[in-house]
Amino acid sequence: MNMLHTVSKSPFGHTALETCLRLARKGASILLIEDAVYAALRQTTIADKITTAMKELSVYALEPDLRARGFGQGQVIDGVKLIDYDGFVDLVVEHQSVQAWF
Amino acid sequence: MSANPDIALPNKRAKKFMLVNRRPPHGSIYAQEALEVALIAGAFDQDVSLAFIDDGVYQLVVGQDTQGTDSKNFSRTFRALEDFGISKLYVERESLQARGLDAADLVVAAQAVSAQALGELMARQDVLLSF
């Protein structure tokens, strides 16, 4: 079973996402929550990193956190899967361990 | 260092715990709390390892002197971890290099490993605790 990495800080002011991407191994999943949902948006300076990461990793974003910040499916990078809290629980159950990057 | 024979016995109920340290030592309580957890987990004969990434590598810098700041210099405690059965300390090489540091600048003989190798070690843990 693979690891789940949760990231909760904006990629523009913190290294949490960058470090996560450096350490996550092929087959792992990354879930963007809280201020990290900004990393799921298209046309940012981060978007290319997410697109590249998705060749080896699954990337999810917590939709309630995205919506709270004024964004939705229409602004999200293709391939990033939006999930709700039930989906969050499912991800935790489906993975062997969880590493929180904050 | 000769280990306590009780600690040396294999513990069938032990889980693999990795404490992931990413904060510098004196600006917040994270680093000290991680050390407390390490000592507790070690006392319960768990398979504990510590990883130092990003500013977490500053926790291990040799020569810290907190006399002027009224805070505790807990960096020496890292050298006592071995007495609690904790000898696996990993420092991410990329984080060291980014800060102009190398293994000789550290208070303990931590193993410098690449991001890839550390990522693989992480993937083999039962429990990851972030500080």
Look at chain B and report how many structural domains it folds into.
1
- Please give the average per-residue pLDDT across B63-76, as a whole number: 91
pTM of the model: 0.90
Is A100 in CB contact (< 8 Å) with chain B?
A: yes
pLDDT at B10: 60
Domain range holding B50? 13-130
- Closest-CA distance, A71 to chain B, in angstroms, reads 29
Residue B11 has pLDDT above 80, yes or no: no
- Does B67 reside within a domain? yes
Q: Of A3, A100, A102, which has the smallest distance from its Cβ to B122's Cβ?
A: A3
**How large a percentage of chain B has pLDDT more than 70?**
92
Phi and psi angles of residue B98, each rounded to the nearest 5 degrees, phi first: -60, -25
- Does B1 reside within a domain? no
**How large a percentage of chain A has pLDDT more than 70?**
100
Contact A23 B130 (CB under 8 A): no
d(CA A22, CA B97): 14
- Does B123 reside within a domain? yes
CATH number of residue B26's parent domain: 3.40.1260.10
CATH number of residue A85's parent domain: 3.40.1260.10
Q: Residues A5-46: pLDDT tens digits?
A: 999 999 999 999 999 999 999 999 999 999 999 999 999 999
- Does B20 reside within a domain? yes
Q: Are B95 and B57 in contact (CB under 8 A)?
A: yes
pLDDT at A1: 80
ipTM value greater than 0.95: no
Residue among A6, A14, A9, A97 nearest A58 (CA): A6
- Closest-CA distance, A22 to chain B, in angstroms, reads 6
Neighbours of B11 (CB within 10 A): 13
Look at chain A and report how many structural domains it folds into.
1
Neighbours of B2 (CB within 10 A): 5
Chain B residues within 8 A of A98 when measuring between CB atoms: 128
C-alpha angle A72/A38/A60, rounded to 5°?
70
pLDDT at B1: 43
Residue B2 has pLDDT above 50, yes or no: no
Q: How far is CA A65 from CA A33, B13, B35, B42, B129, in A?
A: 6, 38, 32, 37, 23
Domain range holding A36? 3-101
